Amino acid sequence: MEQEGAAARSAETVQTRSADHNADREVLTASQTVYSKSVKPGLDRILGLILLLLSSPILLIAAIGIRVRIGQPVIYRQMRVGRDGEPFELFKFRTMLTDRRQRTAPYEGQDRRLTHKSPGDPRVLPLGKKLRSWRLDELPQLWNVVNGDMSLVGPRPELPEIVADYEDWQHLRHKVRPGITGLWQISDRNGKPMHECTAMDLEYVDNIGIRQDISILARTPGAMVGSKKGY
């Protein structure tokens, strides 16, 4: 009961703080607007294309492995919510069985609305676990970056059905393009409640700038191989 009360108080604190944030900042500052709308998209596309070319051998090997061990389709496509609430099609390597939302059999794992991923998800196949542990399943999203739907750094894009239940203050995370990596990816993200991840997203939006992006990009490789690896 104590833990539940603490979690409720934490959520209420974040909501109150974020509501105040919403009232204080409805728009980005002039310099942030220039960076996020003019500078950042160009840098994203150039760096995204370079990274896409450099990672092409890994993409090819992963695609072959998925085709042989898991089957088709190799690329998993899913609608997500992007900047200004606009939907787009996100690309990932397939790592699991059919999504539980498309299956009739009951799913007993953690609710996607409470945690971004569950380490014990029975749908994730062995090869998929390896790809996820190194976050290689997200490499196809470099094409989303080159295409202009995503950024290298930003809040993770969420599912439309989850965004539909957002409070007004949570939509502030959509003032910037979603990213492949971000603050919660380089933080202790395992099992974090959704409201805490949203708070980090708003912190990113509030401080968006080239220095923050460089810092997050520089810390991402360490997060991939350290204690903050994905699952």
What pLDDT, on a 0 to 100 scale, did the predictor assign at position 6? 42
What pLDDT, on a 0 to 100 scale, did the predictor assign at position 176? 94
Distance separating alpha carbons of residues 100 and 161, to the nearest angstrom: 14
Least confident of 23-37, 98-112, 180-194: 98-112
**pLDDT band with cut points at 50, 70 and 90 for residue 15:** very low
Is residue 100 scored above 80 in pLDDT?
A: no
Q: How far apart are the first and last CA of the chain?
A: 29
Model confidence pLDDT, tens digit, residues 171-196: 999 999 999 999 988 886 545 655 56
The two tokens of residue 205 are 């939006």
- Please report the sign of the dihedral spanned by the C-alpha atoms of residue 130, residue 133, residue 137, residue 142: negative
Contact 48, 146 (CB under 8 A): yes
What pLDDT, on a 0 to 100 scale, did the predictor assign at position 84? 94
Element (H, E) at 45: helix 40-54
Model confidence pLDDT, tens digit, residues 117-176: 556 677 788 898 999 888 899 999 999 999 999 999 999 999 999 999 999 999 999 999
The strand pairing partners of 77, in sequence order, are 91
